[in-house]
Structure 1
Amino acid sequence: MKPVDEVDELLTRAGARWRADQDAPPEPDLEYVTSGGRKRRRWVPALAAASVAVIAAGVVAVLPDPEPPVAQPANGTTATPQTFAQGNDKLLVKPGDKVRVSGQIIAAPGKTPVFCAPLAVPAIGYPPGKEPAPSCPDQFAVKLNGLDFDRIPGSKTTKGVRSGYASVTGIWRDGTIDVQQQGEEIRPNPEGLPKLPCAAPAGGWQSKPSNISSTPVKAFLKAHADQAYGPITYYPHGTTRSAPVVIMVGVAHGDLAAFRTAFEKIYSGNLCVTPVLMSNADSDRVGNMLNSLLAKDHLGVFASSGADGMTGGPAPVQLLVYTEQVKAALAPVGLDLLDIQPQVRPVS
């Protein structure tokens, strides 16, 4: 038997105790990593949350009465400012339309069950049996006439209020649905992160440093805030230590080739320059207009932001139902710049 060195054994035990006492490493902030530091600005009227904007490279600018931005697809096709607006029109709902909702259903004693929009809620750990009864603000609730709550699978009762998750189809009646069908909740398929919109250069993307955080690059992007979007960080081959990092900068206005030529004079590293719908200034303007408008009239909107975080595409607007009234209220922002995401959706 090999003799034991008591000093080595004491040191080994002390080292094990030290490692056990250390805090676990923090979880990576994937949103921050994949967006190059640019996090979405969100406004949630249901919680009276303040709007916060974190803009990559310190770009904060507003365009005075800018021309409507037009997406310029890389495949050479053309897009008009009406493209996204027309896409949203198929989501319009009027009385008598057949619609569907899917999500949380709440039934308080003596009241008509309601569908509730997926509002952000504080993450509070309540002791078992101390959870508050589920509730829904009126502006984010849809009454469900004729719903059979006993047919909702996995429902529960909290302080006398029943809740569960289901899909419901019926006829829209201005804030209510006359139920025709009900079934299990329809869960959307999770969307992966968008792919890098640029093809790899000859020889592929290389693992090399980038000076995206340098003062000259930041100054250039700030000076071109009315033209450029980003920068956004992409990892086309994963996030291992040796994997290449590609910086994407979108161009919403002006000549793309001329912008790239000027930018490459001060930038070093993997670069993707691509057409986008909105510049940083456009995104700020749209986000600020939405915040100002929705602060006066909720319109059933429970979350919104500027341009889509990683693509510079239309701004997502999450709301209860898209009606002609809501459309008219959002029109000053630019319907062609909005991605309407309603909970109440028309079905054929």
Structure 2
Amino acid sequence: MNRDVDDVLAEAGARWRADQPSPPEPDLDRMLRPRRPKRWVPVLAAASVAAIAVAVIQVLPHRDQAPSVAPGKEHPLLVRDGDKVQVEGQVVAAPSAPVYYCLPIATTLPLDVNQQTKPPACTPGQQIEVTGVDVNRLEDLTTVLGVKSGTARLVGTWNAGRIAVEQQSAPTPPAPGEPDKVPCPPPAGGWQPGDASTAITPALDAFVKARADQLQTPWIGWPEGSPNPKPGQPPNKPSVLVVGVAHGDVEAIRKALDPLVAANLCVTKVRVSQNEIAAQRAAVEKLPLDDLHITGIGVGVGDRPVIISLRILDQRAADVFRPIGLDNLTFQPLVRPAP
């Protein structure tokens, strides 16, 4: 990352943090990188989620990446007993014990560098019993002290917290991350080359903070795809500063921002403001996180910016989230309906 840009972002972040109740340090290295699939910080009991600073340009899953819920319809990620589901990841088979799919949950247990070799095992309480697995067909199969472990993509029937496997294959290779699409058409003459992060100034910071009931946190988009600059060079593709407007006139906001943003600018309509996002997040944090097997909470941008990682969106979880609004949230369940 360009040194000057680091300095600008660090100074802007410091100003923002001075007004906030002890948020964690922002990950400055992530600001200009295109989005990659996220793994959210585990929620242990009532862990809180950090607020997003204007200076920390979060490029997280955008509005068209989460399935919406039509009025009167079930959520497309809802799973009931008897439904076909899919999971991917580690499978562990110990002698004289059920075979388990291990949920990919980060652990906070300290690492003992002096510990002796131990057989593979799921994180305690983070496993799902699976039947019908051909253990010898697992990818990257290993055996340690009699316990077999490998990876697979499993498709089967969900019933009472177990999966009766009917299809087994190698895990799907991770797709390369791509930046979110800029939700504005290019202006006349196209998007201009340049680094939109340089538009993060004290004036922009003040403008956005003063309108937290109207605007979302700005973020950086890459309309021509991921940049691939040479080391020490600025991005080699145009970037755009995007500001979402939940309440108020989009064109009036754009005109007010124009003299403040010396870079490509996109001002677009969104459903919820920073204040409304904070209220949704606070409502989620008050839920019984452990009972619902919620493993992480994140905040992004777009129409469903509160992002919840959880074991499964079953009927019980859906009923608990319903007062907040199922279509106001983005769910990332580990057990998902099979296509």
TM-score (norm 2): 0.72
Give the corresponding residue for 1:315. 306
Gap regions ≥5 residues in structure 1: 1-27, 60-70, 74-80
State which structure, 1 or 2, has the greater radius of gyration over its C-alpha atoms: 1
178-187 vs 237-246, greater mean Cα deviation = 237-246
Shift of 1:112: 0.6
State the AA in 1 paired with 2:252: A
Equivalent residue in structure 2 for 1:51, among 46, 49, 67: 49
Q: Given the superposition, is the C-alpha separation of residues 344 and 85 from structure 1 closer, same or farther in structure 2, using an over 3 Å criterion?
A: farther
Shift of 1:185: 2.0
275-284 vs 128-137, greater mean Cα deviation = 128-137
State the AA in 2 paired with 1:213: I
Shift of 1:176: 0.7
Equivalent residue in structure 2 for 1:225, among 194, 197, 212: 212
**1:338 aligned to 2:325?**
no
Give the corresponding residue for 1:78. none
Give the corresponding residue for 1:280. 274
Q: Given the superposition, is the C-alpha separation of residues 182 and 272 from structure 1 closer, same or farther in structure 2, using an over 3 Å criterion?
A: same
Give the corresponding residue for 2:155. 169
Q: Given the superposition, is the C-alpha separation of residues 155 and 149 from structure 1 closer, same or farther in structure 2, using an over 3 Å criterion?
A: same
**1:264 aligned to 2:253?**
no
> Aligned equivalents of 1:45 and 1:107: distance in 2?
27
Equivalent residue in structure 2 for 1:241, among 234, 237, 254: 234
> Aligned equivalents of 1:128 and 1:312: distance in 2?
48
Structure with the higher helix share, 1 or 2: 1
> Aligned equivalents of 2:186 and 2:109: distance in 1?
42
Alignment of 1:57-206 (within 5 A): 57=55, 82-83=69-70, 86=73, 89-121=75-107, 130=116, 132-137=118-123, 139-206=125-192
Q: Given the superposition, is the C-alpha separation of residues 95 and 41 from structure 1 closer, same or farther in structure 2, using an over 3 Å criterion?
A: closer
Q: Given the superposition, is the C-alpha separation of residues 188 and 267 from structure 1 closer, same or farther in structure 2, using an over 3 Å criterion?
A: closer
**1:213 aligned to 2:200?**
yes
> Aligned equivalents of 1:221 and 1:48: distance in 2?
29
Give the corresponding residue for 1:3. none
Structure 1 counterpart SS, 2:155: strand
Q: Given the superposition, is the C-alpha separation of residues 120 and 190 from structure 1 closer, same or farther in structure 2, using an over 3 Å criterion?
A: farther
Shift of 1:219: 1.4
Q: Given the superposition, is the C-alpha separation of residues 46 and 150 from structure 1 closer, same or farther in structure 2, using an over 3 Å criterion?
A: farther
> Aligned equivalents of 2:211 and 2:144: distance in 1?
54
State the AA in 1 paired with 2:338: V
State the AA in 1 paired with 2:86: R
Q: Given the superposition, is the C-alpha separation of residues 163 and 228 from structure 1 closer, same or farther in structure 2, using an over 3 Å criterion?
A: same
Structure 2 counterpart SS, 1:258: helix
1:92/1:323 contact within 8 Å kept: yes
> Aligned equivalents of 2:189 and 2:161: distance in 1?
58
State the AA in 2 paired with 1:288: A
> Aligned equivalents of 1:247 and 1:201: distance in 2?
13
Structure 1 counterpart SS, 2:168: strand
Give the corresponding residue for 1:326. 317
> Aligned equivalents of 2:117 and 2:48: distance in 1?
26
Q: Given the superposition, is the C-alpha separation of residues 46 and 160 from structure 1 closer, same or farther in structure 2, using an over 3 Å criterion?
A: farther
Gap regions ≥5 residues in structure 2: 1-26, 58-62
Deviations 1:194-225 (A, max 9, x none): 12222222223334687633333211111111
Structure 2 counterpart SS, 1:154: strand
Shift of 1:229: 1.3
> Aligned equivalents of 1:106 and 1:209: distance in 2?
47
> Aligned equivalents of 2:206 and 2:166: distance in 1?
59
Deviations 1:114-133 (A, max 9, x none): 11222124698887994544
Please report the RMSD computed on the Cα atoms of aligned residues, expressed in angstroms. Answer: 3.7
State the AA in 2 paired with 1:96: G
State the AA in 2 paired with 1:304: I
Give the corresponding residue for 1:33. 32
Structure 1 counterpart SS, 2:216: strand
213-222 vs 119-128, greater mean Cα deviation = 119-128
Alignment of 1:282-297 (within 5 A): 282-295=276-289, 297=290
Deviations 1:6-27 (A, max 9, x none): xxxxxxxxxxxxxxxxxxxxxx
Structure 2 counterpart SS, 1:341: strand
Q: Given the superposition, is the C-alpha separation of residues 111 and 209 from structure 1 closer, same or farther in structure 2, using an over 3 Å criterion?
A: closer
2:78/2:313 contact within 8 Å kept: yes
263-272 vs 45-54, greater mean Cα deviation = 45-54
> Aligned equivalents of 1:132 and 1:29: distance in 2?
37
2:180/2:222 contact within 8 Å kept: no
Count matched residues: 295
Q: Given the superposition, is the C-alpha separation of residues 32 and 234 from structure 1 closer, same or farther in structure 2, using an over 3 Å criterion?
A: same
Percentage identity across paired residues of the two chains: 32
